[in-house]
Structure 1
Amino acid sequence: MFKSRGDIVYKCTVRLLEDTEILECEFHPSYKGKYLLEHVCQQLNLTETDYFGLRYVDAGSQRHWLHMAKLILKQVKDASPILFSFRVKFYPPNPLLLKEDVTRFQIYLQLKRDLLHGRLYCTANEAAMLGALIIQIELGDYDPNIHVGNYVSEMRLLLRQTDTIEARIQELHREPVAGTPEGGGGAGGGGVQGMSTQEAERTFLKIACQLDTYGVDPHPVKDHRGNQLYLGINHSGILTFQGSRKTNHFKWSEVHKINFEGRMFIVHLNYPEKKHTVGFKCPSGAACRHVWCCAIEQMLFFTLSSSSEASVYSGGGLFSWGTKFRYVGRTEREILQRDGLLAPRDEQEESAGAGKRKANSVPATPSTPMTGDFVVAGYSSLPRSTHSAPLEAGAGVGAGAEACNGGCLLSGPAVDIALACCDPLRPVLEEPKPQLPCAAPEYSLRDSFEHSSTESGATCPAAPPPADWGRLPPALQPPPRPFSLLRAFVPSFLFVWLSLALLALLVFETDIALFKSLKHKPEFIALRRHYYAPLKEYLRRKMVELF
């Protein structure tokens, strides 16, 4: 695939999920991002390629996902050397539904990285169990003749790997699986001894995908008070974290519009009572655009029923261009249909209800059906609104974001994303999340998000969420929009000149009786002879040359 078709061939390096593994690739200037991703997936024997992507960093240290429909060279033209990282881009809500073992293994490798770098935040006991499962996968069953001393310390598993955590990991590695004869039918068991590699991998995925920060790549932002927050985007919606505490969760069913203006990332929310608009200030305009692109892609992948010609517009202002983002590739809905993971009844309901629902209905929940031996905790089992119309997006220019110190509530026009959503799926019973013992103090909740980590939802004791969970606090009320002289003057200036041009056309080119007396005035005769006629002749010549 990557043989030269001419004299110019570019070389690039692709880092895989194992840091020690890299691929050296070549590409022609005419190759698009899709070809490089397909080549990498082919080398890894991956067929479920839609969940993965290639990430790179530009000259300004801003991260980007390689766009599949754009030329590779145009996207990395300033990079030297050209370096990509192969990563999971869309974390499936239930990785156990993936068809291929090799795909699940790559998801496992990504989550293992997330755990090491602090992005997959969890309690001490969850961390110990995940660490023990990694040891079981990579070293196999505990053998006292081989596994001597503190062998866990030789492996980097966690961001904060304390002696207490390592001791607990070794203990779990030695203990038999609960329910086995060695484990005493569950009494005194609960370890990983006796698990096969596949069983340990599936258990790891089962625990990891129930954590709050599963699939979250945190983006640093500031709120309206200038406080440091981290914004996370995954299959369930948009989450905010302050330190190690989850402060808000805006579900895709609540998100009506997403846009950005300069450094402001803006989310428009629809609640049953009223609408809210909340903004977050990013470190730079490039970082804000990256957050917007990530949010749009995640939203469309997990809510669209079809990806055909899905385009979204946003951004821009009075003196700046807006941004167009075109979604390419399959959506989760299309992947599940292709793999036969949707029941025939669901498809019949979709076709029956396609003509009954409005095309501007917002997406509800991700389309993955929770079937099989595992159900993601916290998934809504309510029926979902459906329609079969393709995505529509109107270009819009947001306003009112120029005077915020941090994230602030905004009002004004913004791009309206009319999303095609999946059809109602069968309600499912939610499996309760396994409760592990309370976190040990050695692995207590962190005060900051320096390493892209956050608190897991499985704290101890488990407290029910407040009634207004996911809603904006009353203090975040839309402030009055400040008056801008520039925004008021420029439209007025343009309107006056357009009005004068229209008046000149009516006077000089029509025979309206109202303007006959004006035409014979000396001032209008001089204006026509010295300005209007030469300008008209100049434009006529240009039009003739052009056509």
Structure 2
Amino acid sequence: MIKFNSKNSVNSSIKCTVRLLEDTQLLELEFQGNDKCSFLIDRVCEQLNLIEKDYFGLRYVDNKRQRHWLEPSKSIIKQIRDVEADNILFSFRVKFYPPNPFRLKEDITRYQIYLQLKRDLLHGRLYCNVPEAAFLGACILQAELGDYNPDEHIDNYVNELKILLKQTVQLEEKMMDIHKNELKGKTAAEVETMFLKKACVLDTYGIDPHAVKDQRGNQLYLGINHTGILTFQGSKKINHFSWPQVQKINYEGKMFIIHVILNEDQRIKKKQTIGFKCPKGSSCRHVWKCAMEQMLFFTFPSSSEVPNVVSGGGFFSWGTKFKYSGRVEREILEDTSIIRESPSVTRVGSLRRKASSEPSTPLVGNQTLGSNSLPRSLSNSGEEYNTSKDSFSHNENSHTVLETLLEDQESCTPKTKQDAIHEDTKQNHFILENQTTVTDSSSPSFKQGILNHQLSGQKHFENKPLKKNVSSSMSFLRHYILPIILTLFLILMIVIVVFESNFDLLITVRKIPEIAFFKSNYYDPGKEFLMGRFLRSKLF
């Protein structure tokens, strides 16, 4: 077993698993210890036959369940320290959602955007009202099942297909009605285009919600996309700070801070500082980096003009220096180097495999991706959606917004291959509560779900190895004890320089009554005491 940061890790080949946008697709790749993340992204895009790769990235979750985007210009090993190298899992995801997917040059890139949005709809990030959700779900049905066939599509044929996070009978009926009557004769490419046109105009398009609290302690969800920074409370969009309004973004400890310029009227512009409290300092730093990358990617004319950014983490913690790498959106759109004939799109019918019992098998790096070579999902894949039908009311009004389920199970050290394809099995649920809806928290299934979550959390902490405790202690020492010692040392040096130097300015400073009082009552006695002890130890 190779440990990162060891001498052997630099010259050794390290295996990793990359989960693609369909959980049924896994790639097994190898990289060297000194390879940068861009090498791995290039390998994945090569397998997918993607040229417009700047919109995509690799993501992972550390041992503290904090998500991270791998920075392309940095070494892979340096970004995932203290991780066992025999089981590494990354997830290939859309990092920058194009404002207009139809400005992309190739259909194969648009198809990857479609797959990401289909995931977002399933996991609740692309939430919308009932008619919109029904239309998007029907497009997925038409794309993967084809035209409605009364001989094949009997009764509620959508019931066992997972398309939406909160999938009720009413929504399923609406989806089937649209599938049967409105989308007949449409090809997969046509309905995917219809899906993209509807999805890209939603408020939550391209948003990965982050749980935060405002200054009053209210629970909000903060999202970042090509338009700016948005906040949501329940189904209501509270604020939208567009990128032209945002003057500066930084963080301090757990506080994510936005400096904006608001136009009260056509003549008066008001500067305002708005802060949001994140659950942890690491999550706050993650939100800050995501916001910086999105702003730089969508607002700067070229990558050469992007400056390095530094933000502090607080008085007793180190700051974070961020250097943007890669091209910006304008450079991608103006690129004329793509001269190949547009490749054909191999579509993945994942809905047909939901009920299959054949387990997934990872694909090796030199294997071509195609519909015949794709593995199938596990038969118990429905277990990860335990919040769907039994835990919530089936009233149509209760589904004006989809529940948000964050993908944070992309662990770097999965114990089995089954863990590698279940991204959302044992995760914390951040629910966007509808203000007009009351969830039935007294139902037995709801209580049982909470109990199971608590028990799984207890097992998670009980099974942590001792090295994690040591790592936590070292982290505490690095972030708190060492800065305090350094601060005290600097204060002592300043005091010695002020009282022992013969510069005219410092002599004048020593004449200040308060400084003179401190010198005569504290500094001089302390100095005499230490010198006496030092000289006495030298003499004897």
Q: Is the 8 A contact 1:119 1:217 kept in 2?
A: yes
Corresponding residue of 2:72: 68
Bigger helix share? 2
Q: 1:220 to 1:447 in 2, by over 3 A?
A: same
Give the drift of 1:497: 3.7
Q: 1:29 to 1:127 in 2, by over 3 A?
A: same
Q: 1:269 to 1:497 in 2, by over 3 A?
A: farther
1:444 to 390, 396, 399: 399
2 CA distance for matches of 1:26 and 1:212?
39
1 CA distance for matches of 2:35 and 2:119?
30
Corresponding residue of 1:522: none
Q: Is the 8 A contact 2:211 2:430 kept in 1?
A: no
Corresponding residue of 2:222: 231
Tell me, yes or no, if structure 1 residue 290 matches structure 2 residue 286.
yes
2 CA distance for matches of 1:205 and 1:275?
36
2 CA distance for matches of 1:339 and 1:232?
32
Corresponding residue of 2:41: 37
After superposition, residues 9-408 of structure 1 pair within 5 angstroms as 9-80=13-84, 81-175=87-181, 191-272=182-263, 273-308=269-304, 310-339=307-336
1 CA distance for matches of 2:323 and 2:229?
20
Q: Is the 8 A contact 2:403 2:433 kept in 1?
A: no
Q: 1:498 to 1:303 in 2, by over 3 A?
A: farther
List gaps (5 residues or longer) in structure 2: 1-7, 264-268, 339-394, 406-428, 435-484, 507-526, 532-540
Is the partner of 1:279 in helix, strand or coil?
Answer: strand
Give the drift of 1:267: 0.4
2 CA distance for matches of 1:317 and 1:501?
32
Give the drift of 1:192: 1.1
Q: 1:61 to 1:489 in 2, by over 3 A?
A: closer
> What letter matches 2:134 in structure 1?
A
Q: Is the 8 A contact 1:119 1:452 kept in 2?
A: no
Corresponding residue of 2:364: none
1:100-134 deviation per Cα after TM superposition (whole angstroms, max 9, x unaligned)? 11111110000000000111011111111001100
Is the partner of 1:153 in helix, strand or coil?
Answer: coil
Q: Is the 8 A contact 1:445 1:455 kept in 2?
A: no
Identity %: 57
Q: TM-score, normalised by structure 1?
A: 0.62
Give the drift of 1:320: 3.0
Give the drift of 1:29: 0.2
> What letter matches 1:174 in structure 2?
K
Q: Is the 8 A contact 2:128 2:402 kept in 1?
A: no
Q: How many residues align?
A: 365
Give the drift of 1:499: 3.2
Q: 1:138 to 1:115 in 2, by over 3 A?
A: same
Q: Is the 8 A contact 1:237 1:249 kept in 2?
A: yes
Q: 1:505 to 1:225 in 2, by over 3 A?
A: same
> What letter matches 1:147 in structure 2?
H
Q: Which one has more relative contact order, counting CA pairs under 8 Å at least 6 apart? A: 2
Q: TM-score, normalised by structure 2?
A: 0.63
Give the drift of 1:144: 2.1
Q: 1:446 to 1:135 in 2, by over 3 A?
A: closer
Q: Is the 8 A contact 1:212 1:455 kept in 2?
A: no
